[in-house]
Amino acid sequence: MYVYMNGELVPKDQATVSAFDHGFLYGVGLFETFRIYNGHAFLLEDHLQRLNKGLSDLSIKKNFSKQEVMAALSLLLEKNGYENAYIRFNVSAGYGEVGLQVEPYEVPNVIIYPKPLPPAGNDIFEKKAQLLTIKRNTPEGSYRLKSHHFLNNIYAKREIGNFPDVEGIFLTENDELAEGIVSNLFWFNEGTLFTPAVETGILNGITRQFVIKLAAKLGYQVKEGFFKPEVLETADEIFITNSIQEIVGIKEWNGRYFPGKQGKITQLLFQQYRQYCLLLSSKTELDKEV
């Protein structure tokens, strides 16, 4: 497998960064994960908008255009022979001396990691949801970045173990619903779609934003807010989202069973999602005819 590194295609076992990279030393770096569907990078513009804002906030002097990234992806996918892939787009701060740096980072390291995926099918996945005892840490700044700082998530994954059919659900320090280890949380009840507010400290996932807009387009009321975990007990359906797993039905929570992938709203949103994943570069295009 080849990775894209600073403008070059490099065999994965030859891709290296300096031991003085501040992404390694201090976690100063960001990443985005998204899917390639038959060569199309779904919601790429939204991912880059979030990435570019985060880089500016971290004083990493880099800004990515859609054209630049698509050119890199095209080279990478062709070299590896992939038409459908998982992409991790990684930007670390780059070289710096030992010690905390206040000056901007001028030469970041840009690495794009691909993994092959099968063509997207029409089957919805489902999982069990497990309440975590470890709480969601608060963001380091005014909002949560998709950064290299991932220890809270790693501890959470260790708590539930290596079970791919289980997603751990974080609570905030105030015992309110937050998000999954690698997902955002939704539930449907009496005609309304609910999800924790960004102000709880969760990552504002790109798929989360798309599903909120998609549900509203379909005529559903969407409420973001602060919720205790007990509200899930009376939910009609629960599902989680992320850019790789898409929309995943939850079939069990706290000893109670739910429709999971059989949920009517979960299925409807997934079917709509599947129609758009080959077409859209931004959620704003939902407002246009495609």
Q: Tell me what pLDDT residue 230 has.
A: 97
CATH number at residue 39: 3.30.470.10
pLDDT confidence of 288, banded at 50, 70, 90? confident
Q: Are residues 96 and 135 in the same domain?
A: no
> In terms of Cα–Cα distance, which of 158, 168, 235, 171 is closest to 202?
171
75-110: pLDDT as tens digits: 999 999 999 999 999 999 999 999 999 999 999 999
> In terms of Cα–Cα distance, which of 150, 139, 146 is closest to 53?
146
Question: Which of 93, 116, 139 is the endpoint of a domain?
Answer: 116
Q: Are residues 97 and 135 in the same domain?
A: no
Q: Tell me what pLDDT residue 7 has.
A: 96
CB 76 within 8 A of CB 90: no
Please spell the DSSP secondary structure of 105-138, one letter per residue: BSS-EEEEEEEE-PPP-SPPEEEEEEE-SSPPPP
Mean pLDDT of the chain, nearest integer:
96
pLDDT confidence of 248, banded at 50, 70, 90? very high
CB 144 within 8 A of CB 136: no
How large is the average pLDDT for residues 220-248? 97
User: Residue 11: which domain range?
Assistant: 2-116
Question: Which of 78, 95, 116 is the endpoint of a domain?
Answer: 116
Q: Are residues 232 and 143 in the same domain?
A: yes
Q: Tell me what pLDDT residue 8 has.
A: 97
Q: Are residues 136 and 278 in the same domain?
A: yes
Q: Are residues 202 and 276 in the same domain?
A: yes
Q: Are residues 111 and 206 in the same domain?
A: no
Would you say the C-alpha torsion 158, 159, 164, 168 has a positive or negative sign?
Answer: negative
Distance, in Å, from the CA atom of 113 to the CA atom of 12, rounded to the nearest integer, reads: 9
Distance, in Å, from the CA atom of 132 to the CA atom of 181, rounded to the nearest integer, reads: 9
CB 77 within 8 A of CB 36: yes
Q: Are residues 51 and 108 in the same domain?
A: yes
| Per-residue burial over 34-49, b = 16 or more CB atoms within 10 Å of its CB, e = otherwise | bbbbeebbbbbbbbbe
Count up the domains in the chain and report the number: 2
pLDDT confidence of 280, banded at 50, 70, 90? very high
For residue 289, pLDDT beyond 60:
no
CB 90 within 8 A of CB 15: no
Would you say the C-alpha torsion 74, 78, 84, 90 has a positive or negative sign?
Answer: negative
CB 21 within 8 A of CB 139: no
Count of other CB atoms within 10 angstroms of residue 196: 24
Count of other CB atoms within 10 angstroms of residue 102: 6
Distance, in Å, from the CA atom of 177 to the CA atom of 135, rounded to the nearest integer, reads: 10
Q: Are residues 41 and 174 in the same domain?
A: no
Rounded to the nearest angstrom, the gap between the alpha carbon of residue 86 and the centroid of all alpha carbons in its chain is 12
Q: pTM, whole model, 2 decimals?
A: 0.96
Answer whether residue 288 is part of any domain: no
For residue 290, pLDDT beyond 50:
no
125-145: pLDDT as tens digits: 999 999 999 999 999 999 999
Would you say the C-alpha torsion 167, 170, 171, 176 has a positive or negative sign?
Answer: negative
Question: Which of 116, 147, 162 is the endpoint of a domain?
Answer: 116
CB 61 within 8 A of CB 21: no
pLDDT confidence of 146, banded at 50, 70, 90? very high
Distance, in Å, from the CA atom of 180 to the CA atom of 28, rounded to the nearest integer, reads: 23
Answer whether residue 216 is part of any domain: yes
